Amino acid sequence: MENKTNNNSLEINARQMAVRILTRVEKEGAYANLLLRDSLDEIEDPRDRHLVSSLVNGVLKNKLLLDYALRRHLKSPMSSFPYELRALLRMGAFQLLFLTKIPAFAAINESVNLCKNIKQISGHNYPALVNGVLRRTAEEGWDFAWPDKNKQPWRYLSIRYSHPEWLVKRWLKRWGAEETEQLLKANNEPSATIIRVNTLKTGREELIAKLQSLNLKCTPIDRLPEAIRLEDFSGVEGLDVFKGGLFTVQDESSQLVAHILGVRPGQRVLDTCSAPGGKTTHMAQLMQNKGEIVAVDINPQKLKLVEQLAGRLGIDIIKTVESDARKLEGIDDKFDRVLVDAPCSGWGTLRRNPEILLKNPNLEDLFYQQLSLLHSASSLVKEGGVMVYCVCSITKQETREVVKEWELDKGKEWEKLDLGTGEREMIIWPHQFLSDGFFAVAWRKNGKGKTK
């Protein structure tokens, strides 16, 4: 996208991009983080990148609240409008309610002008509708009636923090009102960009110095030796230090997995659901690029992502295999370490992937898929070897219930390991650690055995 010297033009272009992304997320079920990654590569100006990210993530995280605020000024339901108009109205309301540094008149005028320029909605009288609705939204501000928090806590929390009622009810039943509200609030907080140093090419302090020389604010994360937090930055893929393989993007919780598995140089490791390769390449780093990792995925296109990431990071011990990990056909050898990073609802990643709130996954189907993965993978662990099961979710059905069911069959053969915290299961809550929600458990096959 061409940079503009005029701020109004720059912001219109940023808003146009945000509308396109929001429309595709709602209409096609696309993932906002992937669309943002590809779109932000086109933008050089950091103000433009920041505005696009703020608008997209802000609207997705506050969709139910924005619709609630807009609803009282609309004669027709939001669902009756074209997707582009829905995105535009929500984006305008988000700016009026949340982005206080943008003057109300500017947010309204730019929304009206943008409505005229979007082909799908320009041929109707929508600019007048946008103007009227957003002006009334600006006048009312936050002064509107909320559902009664005491009589209908699920409805109040659902609208206030833009989580679907069915999910809020589930969490209220499990954790109570106070804990649930803290969790919902944390999910709506902005997520920093967390990167993992590629220790095969550089050290953390050396990389921090390089990033600071680019005027990027970054700090080491003490509890993880390879982790760095980047503040207020997006579009890392455009940096030369990224292209040169000095780091990759990976959340804190995800970076724990390779350490929990305890990989060592020279071992044979199986990663049963490896794409897109973050945990796979992290294990290779800790193995000093010595040994072998068999990276399995059912999707050949996703396996290419693993290969591309390994190539950029300078890793050559990863062998990709296309296979259904519930069967692992063609893999007969035993492994020192096995990772089951199972497909899940992703409800632990709502800070970074708010579009997940638009979906309602079938937890029963996921449960049986996760259990099948554990049964299949466990047969390939050597005597004395270690297997880790993990998901980026905090639902009971995908965590403790899966583990309990698997152990009913395998308990005598396996010893559940202490994860270094005095606990034999690790669960990370977004509101307590300000990272992705995450669950992990590790077992050793026949505790009397030894691994090299």
Q: What is the pLDDT of residue 297?
A: 95
Residue 346: how many CA atoms within 13 Å on its side-chain side? 15
Q: What is the pLDDT of residue 12?
A: 53
Which helix or strand (DSSP H or E) is residue 255 part of?
helix 252-261
Class of domain 193-249: alpha beta
Residues of the chain with CATH 3.40.50.150: 252-445
Helix residue ranges, H only, 314-362: none
| Residue 451: DSSP 8-state | -
Helix residue ranges, H only, 45-103: 46-61, 63-71, 83-97
| Residue 74: DSSP 8-state | -
- Token reading at 214: 């680019």
CA–CA distance, 215 with 200 (Å, rounded to integer): 24
Sequence-distant (6+) residues with CB within 8 A of 116 are 122, 127
Known catalytic residues are 392
Name the nearest CA neighbour of 316 among 351, 349, 280, 366: 280
Class of domain 7-145: mainly alpha
Q: What is the pLDDT of residue 330?
A: 79
If one counts every other C-beta atom within 10 angstroms of the C-beta of residue 150, the result is 8
Q: What is the pLDDT of residue 206?
A: 97
Sequence-distant (6+) residues with CB within 8 A of 311 are none
Residues of the chain with CATH 1.10.940.10: 7-145
Residue type (1 letter), 91: M
Task: Specify the CATH number for 252-445; select among 3.40.50.2300, 3.40.1190.20, 3.30.420.40, 3.40.50.150.
Answer: 3.40.50.150
CA–CA distance, 166 with 432 (Å, rounded to integer): 23
If one counts every other C-beta atom within 10 angstroms of the C-beta of residue 208, the result is 17
CA–CA distance, 228 with 385 (Å, rounded to integer): 31
pTM of this prediction? 0.87
Is the C-alpha dihedral spanning 197, 202, 203, 207 positive or negative?
A: negative
Name the nearest CA neighbour of 338 among 278, 274, 386, 275: 386
Residue 1: how many CA atoms within 13 Å on its side-chain side? 24
Q: Are 23 and 87 in contact (CB under 8 A)?
A: yes
Q: What is the pLDDT of residue 5?
A: 36
∠91-97-100 over CA atoms, to 5°?
100
Residue type (1 letter), 141: G
Residues of the chain with CATH 3.30.70.1170: 193-249
Q: What is the pLDDT of residue 119?
A: 80
Q: What is the pLDDT of residue 448?
A: 58
DSSP helix, strand, coil percent of the chain (3-state; round to 5): 50, 15, 35
CA–CA distance, 32 with 357 (Å, rounded to integer): 12
The pLDDT tens digits along the chain (452 residues) read 333 334 444 455 889 999 999 999 999 988 888 888 888 777 777 788 888 989 999 999 999 999 999 999 999 999 999 999 999 999 999 999 999 889 999 999 999 999 998 888 877 889 999 999 999 999 999 998 999 999 999 999 999 999 999 999 999 999 999 999 999 999 998 888 899 999 999 999 999 999 999 989 999 999 899 999 998 666 688 889 999 999 999 999 999 999 999 999 999 999 999 999 999 999 999 999 999 999 999 999 999 999 999 999 999 999 999 999 999 887 888 999 999 999 999 999 998 888 888 877 899 999 999 999 999 999 999 999 999 999 999 999 999 999 999 998 776 789 999 988 888 999 999 888 878 999 999 999 986 544 44
